[in-house]
């Protein structure tokens, strides 16, 4: 017959089946041996330290799940060992059970003051030791699981938002909107991908697009830029946000050339004929976070609109650059002057083709 345990009991039962690593710190070998034997019969892995300095070194090399720490030791007593461990952010979560023959209230208060989690009186009751170590191990395992989930959540948040923006949101800012006086914006579109998607399956579409955009992501990271978003087979990047970038226009130009090269390599590998069309502009933008359930870091402003328009009217394979960006890069890259383009709401606008270094 299958036995169903209530959730709380099932969790405790699983914890009891997963013993951990216990560090026993005592200057008397006989005491260490008795504690080791009692815990090893329950499946715990035991490591031993003869004095406080050795204990600190062992914890640094391999943090245990629980520490059984004698109070009265020469050179460095248990209070000092506990104080040092609890002062360190990396070792502070380790439960420390202090073993003491002292029964006076003053000594127990000293132990609490330095961060001890529990006390066991000498001579020890070994059944009591096992129960308290089991509870402490269970607590530590729960803490480790919580820590792992928190780190996972933070990684997911950083996949959505730039690190400085994520940090501000974690500190309690609910409305983030910043003005940036000079940012270079790049918008790229894969020409031919929609036609290709008609002839291949959904999984292949996603896989191929992921491969291309992952290559773009690596280039963005290499040049210290910020990926803003993807929309279908379009890809937006900015340089100079959320933190200033002294070479934002140059880095964006390098990125654009690298993206075009990546598409060429992709075509060679898969015998496809994709082309990339890119528009670049430099100027002021508003950047901020929108949404409550699903966050998005986005850009707004005339600078973004012109970059998008330059991309949309450009020829496949061409990197079209606004005059503001051209003026910043004309001595570092090769350009060709394009005929003026008629932009809706703007009239005639000067544009240049980025050819190379």
Structure tokens at 64: 């245990």
Q: What is the pLDDT along the chain (357 residues), one digit of tens a residue?
A: 333 434 444 444 444 455 889 999 999 999 999 999 999 989 999 999 999 999 999 999 999 999 999 988 888 999 999 999 999 999 999 999 998 876 667 777 888 889 999 888 888 888 889 999 999 999 899 888 888 888 887 777 777 777 888 888 777 777 888 999 999 999 999 998 878 877 788 888 888 889 999 999 999 999 999 999 998 889 999 999 998 899 999 999 999 999 999 999 999 998 888 899 999 999 999 999 887 777 788 999 999 999 999 999 888 999 999 999 999 999 999 999 988 877 777 778 889 999 988
For tokens 């502070």, what's the residue?
92
Exposure b/e, 163-197, CB count within 10 A at least 16 = b: eebbebeeeeeeebeeebebbbbbbbbbbbbeebb
C-alpha span between 46 and 58 (Å, rounded): 12
DSSP one-letter string for 75-143: SS-HHHHHHHHHHSTTTTTS-EEEEES---HHHHHHHHHTT--EEEESSP-HHHHHHHHHHHHHHHHHH
Structure tokens at 217: 């992501």
Q: What is the pTM of this model?
A: 0.64
C-alpha span between 69 and 55 (Å, rounded): 9
Domain spans, the chain: 7-158, 161-356
Segments in the chain forming alpha helices (H):
7-16, 29-40, 52-61, 78-87, 105-113, 126-160, 163-170, 193-198, 202-222, 248-270, 302-313, 323-329
Give the strand pairing for 177-191 and 275-290: antiparallel
What is residue 47's three-state secondary structure? strand
**Topology annotation, domain 161-356:** Alpha-Beta Plaits (3.30.70)
Q: Which CATH class is domain 7-158?
A: alpha beta
């Amino acid at each position: 017959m299958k036995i169903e345990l209530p959730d709380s009991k099932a969790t405790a039962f699983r914890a009891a089946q997963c013993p951990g690593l216990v560090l026993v710190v005592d200057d008397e070998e006989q005491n260490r041996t008795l504690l080791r034997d009692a815990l090893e019969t329950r499946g715990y892995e035991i490591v031993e330290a003869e004095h406080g300095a050795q204990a600190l070194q062992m914890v640094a090399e391999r943090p245990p799940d629980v520490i059984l720490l004698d109070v009265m030791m020469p050179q460095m007593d248990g209070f000092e060992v506990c104080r040092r461990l609890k002062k360190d952010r990396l070792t502070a979560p380790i439960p420390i059970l202090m073993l003491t023959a002292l029964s006076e209230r003053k000594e127990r208060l000293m132990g609490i003051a330095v961060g001890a989690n529990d006390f066991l009186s000498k001579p020890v009751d070994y059944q009591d030791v096992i129960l308290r170590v089991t509870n402490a191990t269970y607590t530590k395992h729960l803490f480790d699981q919580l820590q792992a989930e928190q780190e996972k959540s933070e990684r997911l948040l950083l996949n959505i938002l730039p690190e400085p923006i994520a940090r501000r949101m974690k500190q309690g800012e609910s409305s983030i909107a910043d003005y940036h006086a000079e940012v270079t914006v790049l918008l790229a579109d894969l020409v031919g991908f929609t036609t290709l998607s008609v002839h291949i399956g959904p999984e292949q579409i996603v896989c191929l697009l992921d491969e291309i955009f992952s290559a773009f992501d690596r280039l963005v990271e290499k040049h210290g830029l910020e990926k803003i978003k993807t929309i279908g087979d379009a890809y937006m990047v900015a340089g100079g946000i959320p933190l200033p970038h002294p070479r934002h226009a140059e880095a964006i130009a390098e990125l654009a050339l690298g993206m075009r090269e990546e598409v060429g390599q992709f075509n060679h590998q898969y015998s496809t004929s994709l082309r990339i069309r890119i528009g670049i502009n430099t100027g002021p933008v508003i950047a901020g976070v929108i949404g409550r359930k699903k966050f998005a870091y986005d850009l707004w402003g005339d600078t973004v609109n012109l970059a998008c328009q330059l991309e949309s009217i450009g020829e496949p394979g061409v990197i079209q650059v606004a005059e503001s960006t051209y003026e910043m890069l004309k001595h570092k890259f090769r350009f060709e002057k394009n005929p003026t383009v008629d932009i809706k709401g703007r009239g005639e606008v000067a544009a240049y083709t980025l050819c190379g270094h």
